């Protein structure tokens, strides 16, 4: 089964994915190896038509951790460069692999993939969604807050695809969602109403009490002409932790970021016990192990 939009990932599936992720994490923590060969002979195709560090490498590690193989192609070295359609590319790759991980710079329409006979996992489509990142983010939050938590999204909510998926996912649960963004980087219309504007005094009003602070960089690559004044002046100061003092944030709060970061979280936060963005990246492997087991229909052995 595909994972293209977070809306279509049921609660039962999420529980199963997280259960498999927990087994993978336990294996890492205590040299316990129940799942190392269960994808032997299976192939994952990583199709990345836009740059990636975390998503590509963590899917790679996840598949290899299960004993499977990974084949990879990018835009520059594929026949997309010669004008081949995405559908023809996917149908061709489906002859070689058991599942596809797909990142595109354009937004995808799931209806266009109905003829593809193997599961497709959306690894980030344009300014659309990033559903597997949302699952990683929820998994990371749940390690600290099981329920009744509050979260503040900061930054470029218009183009931040990780937030588009995560805000929809969180709206299913008992949590209070705030946001703060520049006027020209508001959430897409369909997602407004899922969160409350923290307003310009967020740093004194919401920041000291919130459980989760979720920052994003300015997604400059989504704007064709960044010289036209569309860039946000003072982004890292007004929509990041650049000048925010760690002692204002609650001791048991957590700071998250899907990365890559710009200057919105300065390096000195990395030593703070509440900074969880590298833990998020590590959880990427565990959760993507769970996702691969789900789409490849591999039962968890414990
Ligand atoms: N979080 C994320 O999608 O990072 P990459 O672009 O490096 O994959």
pLDDT in tens, 268-282: 999 999 999 999 999
At 109-131, the pLDDT tens digits run 999 999 999 999 999 999 999 99
Q: Which residues contact 266 (CB under 8 A, 6 or more apart)?
A: 241, 242
- Pocket test of ligand 1: the residue of 58, 214, 259, 284 to mutate, having most ligand atoms within 8 Å of its CB, is 259
Sheet containing strand 69-74, edge to edge, reads 69-74, 43-48, 99-104, 120-125
Cα 7 to Cα 88: distance, rounded to the nearest angstrom: 26
pLDDT at residue 221, as a whole number: 85
For residue 34, whether the previous peptide bond is cis, meaning omega lies within 30 degrees of 0, is no
Token output for 45: 């195709």
In the chain, % of residues over pLDDT 90: 78
Nearest ligand 1 atom to alpha carbon 284: 1
Q: What integer is the mean pLDDT of 87-103?
A: 97
Buried b (16+ CB within 10 A) or exposed e, 128-162: bbbbbbbbbbbbbbeeebeeebbbbbbbbbbbbbb
180, with CB counted inside 10 A (0-12, 13-18, 19+), is buried
Separation between Cα atoms, residue 10 and residue 262, nearest integer Å: 33
Nearest to 107 by CA among 52, 190, 50, 45: 50
Can you read off the two tokens belonging to residue 18? 């997280």
- Is residue 266 pLDDT above 60, yes or no? yes
Cα-to-chain-centroid distance, residue 282: 12
Cα 205 to ligand 1 centre (Å) = 31
Q: By C-alpha distance, which of 296, 289, 261, 294 is closest to 275?
A: 261
Q: For 248-277, what is the mean pLDDT?
A: 95
Confidence of residue 228 (pLDDT cuts 50, 70, 90): low
What's the rounded Cα separation, in Å, for the pair 220 and 230?
A: 9
In this structure, the residues whose C-beta lies within 6 A of any atom of ligand 1 are: 52-55, 124, 130, 133, 258-260
- CA dihedral (141, 142, 144, 147) in degrees, to 10, reads 110
Q: Which of 54, 166, 283 to mutate to test the pocket of ligand 1 (most atoms within 8 A of CB)?
A: 54
CA distances from 28 to 129, 133, 145, 240, 247 (A): 29, 20, 22, 33, 33
Q: What is the per-residue pLDDT for 168?
A: 98
pLDDT of 287 above 80: yes
> What is the whole-number distance in angstroms between the Cα of residue 302 and the centre of ligand 1?
30
d(C-alpha 213, C-alpha 206), whole Å: 10
Both tokens of 190, joined, read: 């369909």
Under 8 Å between Cβ of 66 and 38: yes
């Amino acid at each position: 089964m595909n994972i293209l939009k977070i809306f279509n990932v049921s609660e039962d599936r999420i529980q199963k994915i997280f259960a498999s992720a927990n087994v993978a994490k336990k294996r890492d923590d205590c040299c316990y190896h129940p799942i190392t060969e269960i994808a032997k002979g299976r192939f994952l195709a990583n199709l990345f038509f836009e740059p990636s560090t975390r998503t590509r490498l963590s899917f790679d590690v996840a598949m290899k951790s299960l004993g499977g193989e990974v084949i990879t192609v990018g835009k520059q070295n594929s026949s997309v460069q010669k004008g081949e359609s995405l559908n023809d590319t996917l149908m061709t790759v489906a002859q070689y692999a058991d599942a596809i991980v797909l990142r595109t710079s354009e937004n995808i329409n799931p209806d266009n993939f109905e003829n593809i006979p193997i599961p497709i996992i959306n690894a980030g489509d344009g300014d659309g969604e990033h559903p597997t990142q949302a699952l990683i983010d929820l998994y990371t939050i749940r390690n600290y807050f099981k329920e009744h938590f509050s979260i503040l999204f900061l930054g470029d909510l218009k183009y931040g695809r990780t937030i588009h998926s995560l805000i929809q996912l969180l709206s299913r649960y008992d949590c209070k969602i705030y946001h703060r963004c520049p006027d020209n980087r508001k959430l897409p219309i369909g997602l407004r109403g899922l969160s409350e504007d923290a307003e310009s005094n967020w740093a004194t009003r919401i920041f000291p009490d919130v459980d989760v602070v979720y920052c994003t960089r300015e997604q400059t690559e989504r704007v064709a002409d960044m010289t036209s004044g569309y860039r946000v002046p003072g982004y890292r100061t007004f929509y990041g932790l650049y000048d925010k003092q760690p002692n204002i944030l609650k001791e048991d709060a957590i700071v998250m970021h899907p990365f890559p970061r710009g200057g919105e979280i300065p390096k000195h936060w990395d030593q703070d016990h509440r900074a969880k963005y590298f833990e998020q990246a590590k959880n990427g492997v565990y959760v993507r192990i769970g996702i691969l087991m789900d789409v490849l229909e591999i039962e968890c052995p414990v």
